[in-house]
Amino acid sequence: MTARKSSPKRRGGLQDLTPLVRSDVNVLISAQAVSTYGSFITRAALPLLAILGLGINAAEAAALAAVDLVAGAVVSQFAGVWIDRLPRKPVLIGTDLLRALLLGSIPLAAGLFGGVTLPHLIAVSALSGMCTTTFDIAERSYVAGLVNSPSLRAVLARTMAIRGAAEFFGFGSAGLLIGAFGGPAAIGIDAATYIVSAVLIGFLRVAEPKLPPVSARLSFRRELFDGLQKTWSVVLMRPLLIATFVIGLYFGLFRSSYLLYVTNGLGLGPEAIGLVIATGGIAAFLGGALTERISRLLGVGRAISVSLAIVGFGLILVPLAPGPTLIGFTMLIGHQLLSDGFETVWEANQAAIRGRVLPAAFQGRANAANDGIGILGRLLGIVIGGVIGSSVAGSGAALVVGGGASMAVGLFVATSRLGRIQSLSQIPVSGVRRRS
C-alpha cells in the first residue's frame, strides 16, 4: 500500500527503474556521451575542412551536407525492418565500429597522401551517414523496449542532457583541435570515440525483448508497409510526423547555410565558431535537465508547440547578428541557447509519445519512419538553402526561412488535438509491457 501511495510522486522517474535496467541506461548514456563528443568534433571539422581547405562554394557545401542524409534516407526504412527482426545490441556495436573505420580513413589519407579530396569526404560522409541512421534507430528502439512508458521521457531527457554536455566539450574543443592539429587529426579523435562506444555497449546486460519467430515474419515489403501504416494510423502521431518533417527542413536550411554565413558573412574563424556552437551544448544539457519540469508545467502538447516556436525564433537571431561584435556574439549565443535547449524538450516528448503509443515490435519501423520523414525534410532544406544561398538573398535569408518554418509548425501543433494533451498518462499505451 505504501508503494502505491509513493508511486504518483515519482511520476515515472529514473528511480522507478530496476537497478539492472538503470545500469544499462547509464551504460548507453556513457557510450553516447563519448561518441557524441567525437561526432561534434567531426560535425565542425568536416565542413570546415572542405570550406577552408578545399575552398568549396555554396552549392558544393550543400552537396556535402546532403550526401549523408541521402544515404540515411536510402537505408532508414530497410534498417527499420531489420532492427525489428534482429537483436539490437550487435547492430549498435557493428555500426560504431564501421564509423570508426570510415572516419579513420581521413587522417590516414592525409598522412599518406598529404591531404584529402572532396570525393573522399563525400564517400565517408555518405557511408557514415548510413551507419549513424541505423545506430540511432536501433538505439531508440532498444531504449523503448528496455524502459517502461512512464519512465521513458525521463530517460530520453537525461540522454539528451548528457549529449548536450558532450556537445559543449566537442564543439568547444573542435575549433582548438582543428586550429592546433588540423581537420584530419581532429576527425581521427572521433574515430577513436566510436571504438570506446562499441566497447561500452558490449557491457549491456539486460536481455532484449523476445523477437518474433522467423516463421511469423511477413515479406520484407509487407513489414515495411505495415510499419508505415501503423505509425500513420495513430492520430496523435500525425502532427508529430508533420512537425518532424518541418524540423528536418529547418535543420537542412541550417546545415547548408550556417557555417557559410558565419564564416563568409560574419568573418568568424574556426575557434570562434567552435566556442559559439559549444554553448548549444550547455543549453541542451539544461533542456534535458528541465524537460520533465517544463512538460508538467505547460502540458505535453503545449510544451511541444512552444518548444518548436522558440527553436525557430532562436535561428532568426543569427542573420540579425551585426558581425563579430559583442552584440553579434550575444545573438549567436542566444540562438544556441534557445534552439538547442528547447529542441531537447521537443525531442524527448515526441520520442516518449512514439514509445508509448506503438508496440515494441514496431519500434524499429516507427523510428525509421520518423527518421525517414525528418531526412526528407532535411534534404529539401539543404536544396532550398543551396538555392537561396547561391542567390542574391544569401545564406542569411535561408536561415530566416528555416526559423519561420519552425515557428509556423509550432502554431500548427498548438491547434491540433495533440496540443490539448496535458500529460503522457492521457495517451493510450500500446499495451506491451517492457522491462523496468
* pLDDT of res. 434: 43
Kindly indicate the confidence band of residue 132, based on its pLDDT and cuts at 50, 70 and 90. confident
Rg (Cα) of the chain, in Å, rounded? Answer: 21
Kindly indicate the confidence band of residue 5, based on its pLDDT and cuts at 50, 70 and 90. very low
What's the rounded mean pLDDT across residues 206-218? 69
Q: How far is CA 203 from CA 84, 208, 225, 355, 424, in A?
A: 22, 13, 34, 24, 31
Kindly indicate the confidence band of residue 212, based on its pLDDT and cuts at 50, 70 and 90. low
What's the rounded mean pLDDT across residues 260-279? 80
* pLDDT of res. 144: 78
What's the rounded mean pLDDT across residues 279-303? 89
List the grid coordinates of 294.
517544463
**What is the helix, strand, coil percentage profile of the chain, to 5?**
85, 0, 15
More confidently predicted of 397 and 227: 397
List the grid coordinates of 69.
542524409
List the grid coordinates of 156.
530520453
* pLDDT of res. 219: 73
pTM metric for this prediction = 0.74
List the grid coordinates of 325.
561584435
What's the rounded mean pLDDT across residues 304-314? 95
Residue 57 main-chain phi, psi, to 5 deg: -95, -175
More confidently predicted of 237 and 53: 237
* pLDDT of res. 213: 67
Rounded to the nearest integer, the mean pLDDT of the chain is 82
Q: Which residues contact 250 (CB under 8 A, 6 or more apart)?
A: 311, 312, 315, 377, 381, 402, 403, 405, 406
- Determine the Cα–Cα distance for residues 140 and 144; give it in Å rounded to an integer: 6
Q: Over the stretch 366-378, which tens digit does the pLDDT of each residue have?
A: 888 888 888 889 8
Q: Over the stretch 377-408, which tens digit does the pLDDT of each residue have?
A: 988 998 888 888 777 567 888 899 999 999 99
What's the rounded mean pLDDT across residues 347-363? 82
DSSP conformation class of 50: I
Name residue 217's amino acid.
Answer: R
Which domains, from first to last, does the chain contain? 12-209+218-426 (1.20.1250.20)
Kindly indicate the confidence band of residue 163, based on its pLDDT and cuts at 50, 70 and 90. confident
More confidently predicted of 221 and 111: 111
pLDDT beyond 80 at 121: yes
Name residue 70's amino acid.
Answer: V
Residue of 423, 44, 428, 33 lying closest to 235 (CA atoms) = 428
* pLDDT of res. 218: 67
